[in-house]
A and B are shown apart, each in its own frame.
Chain A
Amino acid sequence: MSDKTELGRLVAEAQASFETASTMDELRAAKVAHVGDNSPIALANRGIADLPKEDRKEAGQAIGAARGAISAALAQREAALEVVEMEARLIAESVDVTLPVSMRPQGGLHPVTGLFYEMCDVFVAMGWEIAEGPEAEAEWMNFDALNFTPDHPSRFMSDTLFLDPPQNHKILRTHTSPVQMRTLLTRDLPVYIVVPGKTYRADEYDATHLPVFHQLEGLAVDKGLGMAELKGTLDHLAKSMFGSDTKTRLRPHYFPFTEPSAEIDLACFKCHGESVGNPDRACRTCRSEGWIEWGGCGVVNPRVLAAAGIDTDVYSGFAFGMGVDRTVMFRNGASDLRDFAEGDVRFSRQLVGVAR
């Protein structure tokens, strides 16, 4: 079997056999036939030992070369078939990637909660802190300490919800402002705080009124604070929330606990005033008024500071408050406040992630 012609034939046969194998299984069968223990080439290899000593070297080299050629052909075919089979497998395993993944239907924070976080973050970034207080509150904290006279109309039962019996002087806070007094009574000056919270009024329950709603309150008491610092702070909040070109205006107003008092209006961030007197470009966000009433503010009335025992010759402050439900309404285009309280699962799903 050392005949070179014979070896050439074996190699050619093996090559042809491998080449005709169209699957890995066929190739494995061809491999057994052409390189297995009982294959002609294996037998030839084993036969070397029976050859005369002087012929062994030459025969060994010839057979070795033939075995090498067969192995190379096998490897080449194996590689080729692997590619083919992988291609076939990948095609077979293809899926519809648009099928639903297994996910819980979406949850979400209530838009009011989300907006509270966003607004509080603005203030925390400025070094302010977050203060909180109870919803069932002492009447003194909600009214008297904030310079509401005993006869002030908002103290009547037509406006304020009282805990029973009313002569116990406990109410459901009508604004987050009692936390101003709690803070001034418990913290060292200077004070820079915002107060997110729930508030209560004996109000209607309809598309534009909720008897239970949410406010964000701010209070700063320090040396040298006044309307300029109030305006600077509110401008920063407005720009953070509505874009850096947002404009605000302060308009004189009246609140017992601030003097001077003002209302803060936002220049409409949707129509930029273009809807005013222009029925063709009516704006839902500002009701085509160009300005949106956002909240109340002012310099803390020295009477409030005095009720907390603060030296009004040294310290002054400013305070502000805005309705958060209303802010969601004009910012996100909500049209019915009842949706805020009814608990329809679809409501809180609408504003999630960065789209809050």
Chain B
Amino acid sequence: MRASYEWINAHAVLFADVVPLAEAFTQAGLLVEQIDDPSQAITGKVVVGRVVECVEEPQKNGKTIRWCQVDCGDYNPEGQPTRGVICGAPNVCVDAYVPVVLPGSVLPGGFEIVSRKTYGHISDGMICAEDELGIGDDHSGIIIFDPCLNPQVGSDALELLGAKDPVYEIDVTPDTGYCLSIRGLAREAAQVTGGVFNDPYDTPVPDTVSDGYPVVLDSEDCVLFVAISVGGVDPDAPTPEWMVRRLKAVGVRSISLAVDITNYVMMESGQPLHAYDQTTLQGPIRVRKATEGEKITTLDHVDRVLSKDDLLITDDSGPIGLAGVMGGLTTELTQTSTEILIEAAWFNPASVGRTYRRHYLPSEASRRFERGVDAGVAYAAAMKAAELLRDLGGGTISSKITVAGSPRTMPTISFPDWTLPGRILGIDLTKEKVIEILEASGVSVVPDKDGWILTPPTWRPDLVDPYDYIEEVGRKIGFGVIEPRIPSAPLGRGYTRAQKARRAVLEAVAAAGFAETIPLPFISGSDLDRMDITADDERRALVRIANPLSEEQPYLRSTLLPGLFTAVNRNTSRSLSDLALFDCGLIFRDTNTGPALMPDVSTRPSQEEVEQLFARLPHQPRHLGGVLTGEWLPANDRHPGEPATWVHAIYLAEIASLALGTTMVRRKALKAPWHPGRCAELGVMKDGEFVTIGWAGEIHPKIVQEWNLPARACAVEIDLDALIELAPSTGQITPLSKHPATKQDLALVVDEGVPSATVLEALREGAGELLESIALFDVFMGTQVGVGKKSLAFNLIFRAQDRTLTEAEASAARDAAVAEAGRQVGAVIRS
């Protein structure tokens, strides 16, 4: 809402200057986002001058300049009767009163005015247009003052232009619709600065009367409709300068007197008005709901098809207006209208809101109706408009008026405990202080036991619950006086195990050299096609968004990989190709659970309803995914660079499980989008069963190409929630043996297809309790070990709890290990 300081002050006696008033507004919840003051951008002097002489001088370049002598009164050059100024504008003429910028002044944009020789004369100043002064965008000609403004030569032109009137840009919150008016702001300004407010709209709505134009209310969404006729209005009467200036200050353009008056009264009172050309009306006005498919052509010449929820103003010809939103074309005021019917009505806020959204027709009127118009201002506003039409347009107000319906009654509530405002606000408040504030806000306060019976004024539909009144008290005192107190929370148990686990994983993964990304979690169906994900894959259980941000990505992600691949593309387009990125976030899988409940909110839903509210949602586990491309380790003086491979994709998952104290196991798997020979299924053993938690490896070369990824890109994705669930919660400490260990190396030959982990596990099993650790340190394939065979070399460390092992004991354990590997996978010692 834009509001000028001058207009606010016209309705209130205030003791606050421009900036303090802005601060008071902000403290009261009316955030002043900006104060526009065009005169602040001008330094120097702009005075009113009268053109005494104007000589046209055609130039060689085809232009015509005008050599003017301007009387600037006290600002004429010493001893001269006039000031000589060159002017290019065609509308300059003798006897025109114009703004003259004196030399030495600087206009907005740093444009400095100097006395200079041009076109053969000394131009000693500048006659200017609106845009040059920064007070408008008109550049069609110079400003010529209306003689009715009584311009005085040598007086301050900016003041005459209203450019010295600062304008507030105020963010009015949805509950303070009454502040979408000068009247509402003046009332607040007076209350919070200790001034006096004079309400120009305090005439109450008279009792229902139908002497004037007939009006029938046929919908509960319109409870009040005031109609006042004004006849014999001069359609050519101009809008006075003061009204144009005030309207301009609040951002409304002048159109014609009648339209300007309806806008002016709306801005001042907050009551939207509509003006009909009464001669175009046919039969009584009827306010009713539309029938489905009914049509109207609105003022903007658009044919609109209506819904049965739209509220209409109609006459015998059919719809003549979308109530509170926009008038119809057939009854519009024209340049020749003289008989005017003014409408001031009260429409249901929700109904207006739905209609203007349905038809994409936000307007100053619909915005006010949606936020709640003063239920009692309709008559005063309509009458004010009628009086202005009479005074400024020479019209005659019909003595017969119509008031259909009556103002809605404001809800009275019981406020049980007068101490509640002080306790909730944390401010020491006496009973008298609370009453004083509420009454100053227009609330009727009637004592009742320990509290009051409260009724809000007609302009405060937001005051409904006791806490609304508490806020009103706080708003008027200002939250600045609240003394902070730290509440003492009960003993907390800190982060949950899962929260600690997740943080440990992410910090470990980041410390290992992976950079976190948080891509937008939307994907397209073709993303899955491009990853060769088959129709029966669980990642196809997609959750679709009804109104996606982009029709190309209508689904919530069912896997983290498309987002990571897209991030890779972004990086490579910026010449960044050595990448190790990760993402940790929810993925979404449709579970076909049916509609979510919408229980009543006046009480707690039943336990069954609560459970259903929680259960009827998509499955949303938290996944951890990573992608690697280019080099894992850069080359340096000691070694060449190490490319990122499938090993490093697994490494990310290993880091995660290590951070949780879990042992991850792997087996070879076929899974899109991974390379069929280089894909590991990752799991955790639980009760002897392999529980899958994800996959890792090199991306299938075809998919690498399809997504335009760097060659041999690798990726991993695991269900982090599942991994955390499977992690041990408490570790176990065993006594450390103080005896020396015995080391043994071992090379076994097995078939090439036998996984090394299987051989290692067989050795571990066979070696028994004396085996402290076992590690593979070499794999060899070649003719020496035979075709289709491979040699695996292990390092085994044996140690006993209670004694130093002999070589014989260690060898016996080793032999047992070899025997078990031989039994399980046909391993033989490499000769």
Contact = CB atoms under 8 A, between A and B. Distances in A.
Contacts of A262: 479
Interface stretch (A1-9, A10-18, A82-90, A224-232): A224-232
A159 to B, nearest CB: 10
A135 B485 contact: no
Nearest to A308: B604
B742 to A, nearest CB: 33
B336 interface: no
A31 B552 CA distance: 89
A220 B27 CA distance: 25
A252 B474 contact: yes
Interface string B476-493: 000110111111111111
Nearest to B585: A198
B449 to A, nearest CB: 15
Interface in B427-481: 427, 465-468, 470-471, 474-475, 479-480
A266 to B, nearest CB: 14
Contact of A251 (B26, B470, B490): B26
Contacts of A190: 489-490
A349 B517 CA distance: 10
B596 A139 contact: yes
Contacts of A249: 479-480
Interface in B36-83: none
Contacts of B603: 306-307, 309
A222 to B, nearest CB: 7
Looking at B350, B471, B474, B580, the one whose CB has the most chain A CB atoms below 10 A away is B471
Looking at A112, A129, A249, the one whose CB has the most chain B CB atoms below 10 A away is A129
Contact of B510 (A108, A158, A211, A303): A108
10 contacts: A103-B513, A104-B632, A106-B515, A127-B488, A136-B620, A163-B543, A168-B594, A307-B603, A309-B604, A347-B515
B206 to A, nearest CB: 31
Interface string A94-128: 00000110111111111011000100100010111
Contacts of A301: 465, 467
Given A249-B480, A250-B482, A345-B580, 10 more contacts: A99-B637, A107-B514, A172-B556, A198-B586, A231-B485, A299-B424, A309-B603, A343-B566, A343-B570, A345-B581
A226 to B, nearest CB: 4
B639 A140 contact: no
B547 A161 contact: yes
Given A129-B492, A163-B545, A168-B596, A117 B503 contact: yes
Contact of A139 (B423, B465, B598, B618): B598
Interface string B228-260: 000000000000000000000000000000000
Contacts of A147: 601
A259 B596 contact: no
For chain B, which range describes its interface: under 10, 10 to 19, 20 to 34, or 35 or more residues? 35 or more
B730 interface: no
B492 A124 contact: yes
B519 A343 contact: yes
Chief secondary structure at chain A's binding surface: mixed
A82 to B, nearest CB: 30
B567 A342 contact: yes
Nearest to A132: B499
B545 A172 contact: yes
Contacts of A117: 503
B467 A299 contact: yes
A211 B519 CA distance: 11
A149 B350 contact: yes
Given A136-B618, A151-B354, A165-B546, A231 B604 contact: no
A57 interface: no
Contacts of A49: none
Contacts of B31: 251, 253, 263
Contacts of B568: 343
Interface in A168-187: 168-170, 172, 182, 185-186
A275 to B, nearest CB: 16
Nearest to A117: B503
A259 B470 contact: yes
Nearest to B172: A254
Contact of A227 (B424, B515, B545): B424
Interface string A3-43: 00000000000000000000000000000000000000000
Contact of A343 (B427, B517, B633): B517
Given A107-B512, A220-B489, A309-B604, A124 B494 contact: yes
B506 interface: yes
Contacts of B517: 110, 342-343, 345, 347-348
For chain A, which range describes its interface: under 10, 10 to 19, 20 to 34, or 35 or more residues? 35 or more
A167 interface: yes
B514 A232 contact: no
B173 interface: yes
A31 B31 CA distance: 97
A277 B579 CA distance: 46
The 10 closest A-B pairs by CB, nearest first: A228-B426, A309-B604, A343-B567, A252-B29, A104-B513, A260-B471, A343-B517, A254-B173, A232-B484, A127-B492
A259 B610 contact: no
Nearest to A181: B613
Contacts of B147: none
A308 to B, nearest CB: 6
Given A225-B487, A254-B176, A260-B467, A136 B513 contact: no
Contacts of A99: 636-637
Given A109-B516, A138-B596, A153 B353 contact: yes
A249 B574 CA distance: 43
Contact of A107 (B482, B513, B548, B588): B513
Nearest to A350: B515
Contacts of B544: 163-164
A252 B617 contact: no
Nearest to B513: A104
A228 B620 contact: no
Contacts of B808: none
Contact of A254 (B174, B596, B598): B174
B479 A250 contact: yes
Contacts of B174: 153, 254
A113 B507 CA distance: 10
Nearest to A249: B480
